[in-house]
Each structure stands twice: as C-alpha cells, then as structure tokens.
Amino acid sequence: MKKIKVLIVDDSSVMRKMVERSLRQAGVNISEVFEANNGMEALSLVRQNALDLVLSDINMPVMDGLEFIRQLQAVDSARGVPVVMITTEGSASPMGEALLFGARGYITKPFTPDQIKEQVFPLLEG
Amino acid sequence: MKTLTQRKGHKSLRPEAGWAPLLQNSIVDVFDIMLASRLQPADPPDPPLAADFTSMVGLAGDLCGVISFHCRASSAVSITSKMLGMEVQTFDETVRDAIGEICNVVAGNFKAKVTGIVNECMLSVPSVICGSDYKLYSIVDGERVEVAFLFEGEPIWVTLDLNN
C-alpha cells in the first residue's frame, strides 16, 4: 500500500490522536497527517493539500461534519477523495445524510483499529 | 399540559429494567474499547466524593437531561494517558479534552442503546468542570440514575439526570 496523506477532523485533539494511532495500528501507511478542529478548518486544508483520505466527526462547533461534507462536493481538488465519518451519532438519520453527500462509510465511537481497517482499506485499495 | 411521552402515545419512555443497566453497559463498552480497561462495578461513593473533573453532555429530544462523568484527578490523568497511548503528567487542556470526550462517547453509546425506546435524542457538545471546590445541583424534576465503577482502584461515576 502506498503512503497516504490523511486529514482528521474532530473538535477533540485527543480523539484526533486516537484516530491517527488506530490508523497506524490498522496498518495504514501514512506519510502526513493534517488535523482540523471543525469543518471550516478542514475545507481550508482540503483546498491547500492533495489528500488521499478524510476522516471526519459530525458533531462539531463552527461547522459540523455534515455541512463540511456538503461543501466538500464543490471543491475540485477533493473529487474522488474518500471521506469516512467517525462519530458518536450512531443514529441512521445523520449517517444517511452523510452518505447522500458523498461519505463512503462511517465508524461509530468507540472504535477499534480493526473497525478502522475494515472501513478504510477497501477505499484505499479501490 | 401533556408530557412528551403522553403526546406521542407511549405509556412510558423508561425501559423495563430501568436506565441503569444501559448506562452501565455504555461505560463498560467505552472503557473496554477505547482504553482497553476492564472496570470493576462499585457502589456510588457514600458519602459522595468531590470529583476533580466533571464532564457533561446534554440530551435533547424525546429524552431530555444531562449525562455527567465524574472522576478524581489521578484517574483523569490515567484515562488521558491511555487514550493517547503515552504518559501524561500535567493537568492541561489535553486532560480536559479527554474527559469531555469520554463523556461524549458514553453519551453516544447510551443514545445508541436507547434507540427503539426513544424516537429522537440529540447530544450537545461536552462541557468540562475542573477543581473540587464546587457542587453540582440538578434542577430538573425527574429521575436520577447514578452508576459507579473502580478504574485502576479509583472511583469513577456517571449520573443521568432526566427531565420529566
């Protein structure tokens, strides 16, 4: 697997570190990690960097994950970049909305590295 | 005035075995998966202990109230270290962030477990209180559930205050 650039979006810095650690434990080969506190910061990073994968929380201040993924559709450089939602919101409604806006999958907190692997690997291989 | 429950035509929002088992399972799941820690069941501290860290997440919708997570400073540091996979020794923003996130994930897990009992339940972003010189009073006139565990020999406890 080639080395990838990942963007992790979560308003908790501890959770961002946990996601990064789980990705590495799952065997994802990471060359660079970008971090954003909310959707607004994430959009700015997406416009400035060529990314291979985005993992985003939903429930965040300033701009939530649903609005982020909705606006991401209009960013040319993000076309084809897989987005996976990572959230405490296990209910069907926000997940359905995220999938409609182009999310390729979702992971519910708390998660294990195996759950990350299950969601992320097929996206990186395909 | 009719309650939400009556308006929606349910007899009661309360699960048959009460809220405590669902809350206990949520906390055990979160500590097991996120921290690889097995919690020991315990009785709620009596007399009540002063927590050094309290994090709170609000519930809104069919189920209204607050879930609060309480622990001592030593537990907060240990929880943070386990979440990050590295030793943390100072009480800084990272510890507050970690304790807020624990409550957030417990609330999310609890919400997933009550799906089917309640139709809609939204979560607030977490708030964290640090320091032991405070008392937390719930002004909601409803059911209160408190569950406690030992984490590395130290008490941690979670309260669910529901609005009628």
**Interface confidence (ipTM) of the complex:** 0.86
- pLDDT, tens only, B92-114: 899 999 999 999 999 999 998 88
The tens digit of pLDDT for each residue in A50-62 reads 999 999 999 899 9
Question: What residue has token string 């409609």?
Answer: A100
Report how far residue A11's alpha carbon sits from residue A1's, in angstroms, rounded to the nearest whole number: 29
Tokens of A53: 């994968």
> What secondary structure letter does DSSP report for B133?
S
For the beta carbon of residue B84, count every other beta carbon within 10 angstroms: 16
Mutation target vs A (from B105, B110, B111, B114; most A CBs, 10 A cutoff): B105
- Give the mean pLDDT of A5-15: 97
Out of A28-37, A40-49, A77-86, B40-49, which region has the weakest mean confidence (pLDDT)? Answer: B40-49
Average pLDDT over residues B66-83: 95
Cα nearest neighbour of B101 on chain A: A12
Q: Do A91 and B105 touch (CB under 8 A)?
A: no
> How many whole angstroms separate alpha carbon A20 and alpha carbon A37?
14
Residue A85 and residue A112 in contact, taking contact as beta carbons nearer than 8 Å? no
pLDDT tier for residue B2 given thresholds of 50, 70 and 90: very low
pLDDT, position B4: 38
Distance (Å) from the C-alpha of residue A115 to the closest C-alpha of chain B?
Answer: 11
Q: Looking at the complex, report in whole angstroms how far the Cα of residue A102 sits from the nearest Cα belonging to chain B.
A: 23
Nearest to A109 among B85, B108, B115 (CB): B108
Give tens-digit pLDDT for A84-118.
Answer: 999 886 666 777 888 888 899 999 999 998 999 99
